[in-house]
Amino acid sequence: MGGDPADGPVGPVDSSRVPRFAGPATFARLPRLDEVGSADVAVVGVPFDSGVSYRPGARFGGNAIREASRLLRPYNPAQDASPFALAQVADAGDIAANPFHINEAVETVQAAADELLDSGARLMTLGGDHTIALPLLRAVARRHGPVALLHFDAHLDTWDTYFGAEYTHGTPFRRAVEEGVLDTSALSHVGVRGPLYGKRDLDEDERMGFGIVTSADVMRRGVDEVAQQLRERVGDRPLYISIDIDVLDPAHAPGTGTPEAGGLTSRELLEILRGLAGCHLVSADLVEVAPAYDHAEITAVAASHTAYELTTLMARQIAEGRERNG
């Protein structure tokens, strides 16, 4: 495939020539990174789920999202943008991490993320479980300094340990605060709901600097008001967005490891993300898609569209930056 950067980005396979159900299942049928040499946005999978506390299977999430993304098209009318024409987006394949050693896996993911970021790419990472957010945040903070975080999830993920383990899918953001990779003046959970171990969970979370927008807040206040609140909290800081697909109600995302009733609709999630246009989004992840529990690919489809909106936000910002800089 290749291509001269002077000719513009290499986009998806033409679905009028090759049917969507044929050919390699790269994200959105985009070129592989090795086919284009470099990318503005690298879509990378991390098939790792050894940090889960309930149902496993998210190691297969990245490829399920890629398969569902065959139906994505190159023009995004909701954001009035053709993201794959605005910036070079490419599929960087998977980061292979040791499934039997969480600490080693965390180090592997961080090293691979460092390498991709050093190439100049922003990351759109497909998990895997939420453990991977910590090494990704470490890598992004090494490049940008402490970052603002918008964390879309049914759960806080700021607990201390599980069975004595510091690195799990329920602990990444506590570790990130402790390590100083987050800007604690600009942190927010979105979509949190369901039972907790005790009120202390909320008190400790607040002490770390997190604000909370519950799923009920989204329902009562509406997506426009919530997006405005999030934009104000983040400001112009470098922003990382981390999305656990269980932020969606099980009706919209049954294929996940720790489902909770009363979540966002897929429409609400997509509209909030679109409302973040103009924020300085430097990278993102989308995790906890477990296709073994996903009848009719409902979760994978929602996840593919979520990753598409995030990719569009990054591509628009890249293009606008180039236009400003001539």
Question: Is 101 in contact with 72 (CB distance < 8 Å)?
Answer: no
Binding residues for Mn(2+): 130, 153, 155, 157, 244, 246
Which residues, including other chains, have CB under 8 Å from residue 280's CB and lie 6 or more apart? 234, 236, 237, 238, 239, 317
pLDDT band at 5; cut points 50, 70, 90: low
Evaluate if residue 7 carries a pLDDT over 90: no
- Work out the percent of the chain whose per-residue pLDDT is above 90: 96
Cα(323)–Cα(326) distance, integer angstroms: 5
Residue 223 has a pLDDT of 98
Evaluate if residue 2 carries a pLDDT over 60: no
More confident residue, 324 or 76: 76
Residue range 161-179: average pLDDT?
97
Per DSSP, the chain holds a count of helices (H) and strands (E) of 11, 8
Residue 150 corresponds to which tokens in the numbers above? Answer: 């918008």
CA angle 222, 307, 321 (to 5 degrees): 90
The per-residue pLDDT for range 19-50, each reduced to its tens digit, is: 999 999 999 999 999 999 999 999 999 999 99
pTM over 0.95: yes
The per-residue pLDDT for range 229-261, each reduced to its tens digit, is: 999 999 999 999 999 999 999 999 999 999 999
Q: 286: which strand partners? A: 126, 243
Residue range 119-146: average pLDDT?
98
Count the neighbouring beta carbons within 10 Å of the beta carbon of residue 229: 17
Evaluate if residue 206 carries a pLDDT over 60: yes
Cα(90)–Cα(13) distance, integer angstroms: 12
Rounded to whole angstroms, the maximal C-alpha distance in the chain is 58
Collapsing DSSP to helix, strand or coil, 105 comes out as: helix
Residue 275 has a pLDDT of 98
Q: Give the chain's domains with CATH numbers.
A: 27-324 (3.40.800.10)
Helix (H) or strand (E) holding 62: helix 61-68
CA angle 312, 318, 324 (to 5 degrees): 135
Measured CA distances, 128 to 22, 49, 136, 222, 257 (Å):
25, 5, 12, 30, 11
Residue 326 has a pLDDT of 72
Evaluate if residue 316 carries a pLDDT over 70: yes
The per-residue pLDDT for range 74-129, each reduced to its tens digit, is: 999 999 999 999 999 999 999 999 999 999 999 999 999 999 999 999 999 999 99
Binding residues: 130, 153, 155, 157, 244, 246
210-214 β-sheet, strand order: 89-94, 41-46, 122-127, 280-287, 238-244, 147-152, 182-192, 210-214
Average pLDDT, the chain: 96
Residue 33 corresponds to which tokens in the numbers above? Answer: 């990174």
Residue 1 has a pLDDT of 41
Which ranges constitute the DSSP H helices of 180-222?
199-207, 215-221
pLDDT band at 6; cut points 50, 70, 90: low
Q: Whose CA is closest to 275, among 321, 323, 221, 231? A: 231
Which residues, including other chains, have CB under 8 Å from residue 224's CB and lie 6 or more apart? 271, 275
The per-residue pLDDT for range 289-302, each reduced to its tens digit, is: 999 999 899 999 99
Backbone φ and ψ of 254, nearest 5°: -70, -25
Residue 3 has a pLDDT of 46
The per-residue pLDDT for range 218-228, each reduced to its tens digit, is: 999 999 999 99
Question: Is 129 in contact with 51 (CB distance < 8 Å)?
Answer: yes
